[in-house]
Amino acid sequence: MHIGEPPPGSYDHNDGAITVIGTAANEAARLAGLCKTLGQAVLISSAFPRCFPNEMVSLGFHHLRNVEHTQEIFTLSDGRVTRAN
How does pLDDT run along the chain (85 residues), one tens digit per residue?
555 565 555 555 667 666 666 777 788 888 888 998 999 888 888 877 677 777 888 899 998 888 888 989 998 887 555 455 4
Q: What is the spatial distance between Cα 41 and Cα 33, in angstroms, rounded to a whole number?
A: 11
Q: Are 42 and 84 in contact (CB under 8 A)?
A: no
Q: What is the spatial distance between Cα 74 and Cα 49, in angstroms, rounded to a whole number?
A: 8
Which residues make beta-bridge pairs with 12?
A: 18
Domain boundaries, the chain: 11-76
Q: How far apart are the first and last CA of the chain?
A: 19
Q: What was the pLDDT predicted at 13?
A: 60
Q: What was the pLDDT predicted at 45?
A: 86
Q: What is the spatial distance between Cα 29 and Cα 47, in angstroms, rounded to a whole number?
A: 15
Q: What was the pLDDT predicted at 62?
A: 94
Prediction pTM value = 0.68
Q: What was the pLDDT predicted at 16?
A: 65
